[in-house]
Structure 1
Amino acid sequence: MIGTRRMVWRGAAGAAVLGTTLAAAGSAATPVTPSDGPALYEACRRAAQQMTDRARDSGTMVAMGCARPDGTLVDTRLWATTAPVPPAPVPVGVCVTGPGRPVVGTTLTSVSVTAEAGLRIIYDYQRLGDGGAGHFRGFGALEFLPGDLAPGRGYRWRARGVYPTTDPSAVLRSPDDEQGWSPWCEFSVSADAVDYRGLGDVSVEALTEVGVRPDRTYTVHLTAAQQRDLRAWTDLGPARDRMTLTGVRLTDLLMQLAQSAWIEEETAREDGESPRVSAYRTLLDAISVELGGPAHPRLG
């Protein structure tokens, strides 16, 4: 008898191909019984290998299952080879949990491990107290990006290694999800660290160039002409002679002015003219200087 299990193949371009994994369970005259287990498992392996070979030749990826003639699934652990689990990576630096966890002064920190050569490293990090909600990334080191971490909060992280596929024809089952991990390491972020959450389109590089913090407010003074121009050239809306805005919002406005100045300068070059100092850049420079930033910021 033949048991079937319909599965979906997903190709590199996202196309789905419906396929069937067959599990031969002896002949039609010999129904499957518990004593037929080893024969059934071998049939599952054979059929899965055929589908794997076919999928590899067509450049697709395939997820497989195997079913008995009565439709019940055969436990993957009974017929598929478990992928090898490499030794757990070793955290670089201090790795502790509890009250002795280190405190870092920035939300843009990084962590790393040492591991067997040739492994792909997967990192898992969680905010303490989140009940197991994890974030996974694969890098040589785990570099926390703007918005990943919050000032005053604690976090934990771990890493595991994955062997690159050495035999593309092998039918492998993923190992237990808890195997091969390094120990959990914890750290806290200082309460006065810069908070980079909610930056939107504003980059850390632009904030750094202007010299403002995204989580603080700054006051600028504008002439009537500057108010008019800032309303016309940005998405500011109403403007006043004295405005208090966050570092993120002010940097966003300066980036809009820089973009307009760049477009004007590029247009002049394409027309064979020497770019002049535009009114956009004059206003940009004036606001930057009042914020204590550079006299001529480029902002990208």
Structure 2
Amino acid sequence: MAVRTILRWPAMLAGLVGVLSTAASAPRWTGPSDGPALYAECREAAQEVFEKYRDQPNTLFDFVCAVPDGTPVDPGLWIPAAPVLPAPTPVLTAGHEVCVTGPGRPVTGTALTKALANGDGAELVYEYEHLGGGETMVRGGASALEFRPGDLAPGASYRWRARVDDPADRDSSEFVYRSPEAEERRWSPWCEFTVSADAVDYRELGDVSLEALTELGLRPDRPYTISLSGAQRRLLRKGTDIGTTTARMTRTGLRWTDLLTQLDRSAFFADELALEIGDESPRQDGIAYRRLLSELSVKLGGPRHPHLA
């Protein structure tokens, strides 16, 4: 039975170096069988291996210290303890200055919300997870946890917590141990929240930028119907990948944003081609694409001259 220690060592690990300091596993062991003397022997043997391989990239150390009958010794008894920084204090949960769990959790009307903890100016590491189960997501290097498009789902509940991003965690120069209990003390309490069921669902944006969607004022999941003239339909087919068109067309806000972004891109390419070949005819295409972009944006309730690039 092995006891895996929590060591300050790089997170991306491949190789494995092990040392076993135990009377049970060494037939000619004549050292101490228990107590401080055994712990000192274990620490010395482990330190020797640690020093030998500390500069090896992608290396994980797995040390075991055991009494003669093979019972592992608590690593906290023989490995120096790593320092534990104070846990940060939760400040903001999805726009609400609370940290609660259970039925009283706050409800946010948008999936683009954030959580915030006070770490006295230090950078923090955040964890969040869906209350129904699933992967625990980790974000670091920032003072706040800002949820991006696709992170949260309407109608779902989540919880988050934070700890100080301790640079010592990335320091491989010390042989230290942090118990699971000590690891938990580094974290703030879990705070829960729910995303409103009618919040905008940003999980299917794909290549469409949130900025373009916001510029046009469209909801990605809502259908929008507009009327197009014959000339508008021909130009839309020429400047985008829409395919078949009709006099009245219904598409989601996400698809309309994609099509208008394609028109903007086609106008840019037409301008670039005109400059490259020294001919004004492609530039006329660019002017036509931008005119259609403006017309469709207005039909969809957006600005007359949207900036989608």
TM-score of the alignment, normalized to the shorter chain, above 0.5: yes
- Supply the distance in 2 between the matched residues of 1:272 and 1:174 (Cα, whole angstroms): 68
In the alignment, structure 1 residue 114 sits paired with structure 2 residue 118: yes
Q: Which has the higher contact order (CA 8 A, sep 6+)?
A: 2
Q: Which amino acid aligns with 2:274?
A: A
- Supply the distance in 2 between the matched residues of 1:102 and 1:15 (Cα, whole angstroms): 39
Which deviations, in whole Å up to 9, do the C-alpha atoms of 1:232-261 show, x marking residues without a partner? 332222211111110001101111111111
Q: Is the 8 A contact 1:24 1:43 kept in 2?
A: no
Distance change (3 Å), C-alpha of 1:113 and 1:272:
farther
Match of 2:294, SS state, is helix
- Supply the distance in 2 between the matched residues of 1:50 and 1:203 (Cα, whole angstroms): 49
Match of 1:226, SS state, is helix
Distance change (3 Å), C-alpha of 1:87 and 1:291:
same
Q: Is the 8 A contact 1:286 1:295 kept in 2?
A: yes
- Supply the distance in 2 between the matched residues of 1:44 and 1:50 (Cα, whole angstroms): 10
Distance change (3 Å), C-alpha of 1:237 and 1:117:
same
Distance change (3 Å), C-alpha of 1:191 and 1:44:
same
| Correspondences of 1:1-300 after superposition (within 5 Å) | 20-22=17-19, 30=29, 34-35=33-34, 37-55=38-56, 60-66=57-63, 77=76, 79-92=78-91, 93-118=97-122, 120-128=123-131, 130-131=132-133, 133-138=135-140, 139-165=142-168, 168-176=172-180, 177-270=183-276, 277-300=286-309
- Supply the distance in 2 between the matched residues of 1:51 and 1:220 (Cα, whole angstroms): 71
Amino-acid identity (%): 47
Distance change (3 Å), C-alpha of 1:19 and 1:185:
closer
* Equivalent in the alignment of 1:3: none
Which deviations, in whole Å up to 9, do the C-alpha atoms of 1:2-58 show, x marking residues without a partner? xxxxxxxx999x896x57455577999545774473254123332243135433xxx
TM-score, length of structure 2 as denominator length: 0.77
Q: Is the 8 A contact 2:261 2:308 kept in 1?
A: yes
Q: Which amino acid aligns with 2:268?
A: W
Structure 1 unaligned segments of length 5 or more: list them.
1-9
- Supply the distance in 2 between the matched residues of 1:238 and 1:271 (Cα, whole angstroms): 31
Which deviations, in whole Å up to 9, do the C-alpha atoms of 1:123-165 show, x marking residues without a partner? 111222x136422211310000111112222222111224212
CA shift, 1:229, in A, is 2.7
* Equivalent in the alignment of 2:4: none
* Number of aligned residue pairs: 284
**What is the aligned-residue RMSD (CA, Å)?**
3.4
Which deviations, in whole Å up to 9, do the C-alpha atoms of 1:245-290 show, x marking residues without a partner? 1000110111111111112223334556785553222221221111
- Supply the distance in 2 between the matched residues of 1:208 and 1:99 (Cα, whole angstroms): 32
Q: Is the 8 A contact 2:47 2:175 kept in 1?
A: no
Q: Which amino acid aligns with 1:83?
A: A
Q: Is the 8 A contact 2:215 2:302 kept in 1?
A: yes
TM-score, length of structure 1 as denominator length: 0.80
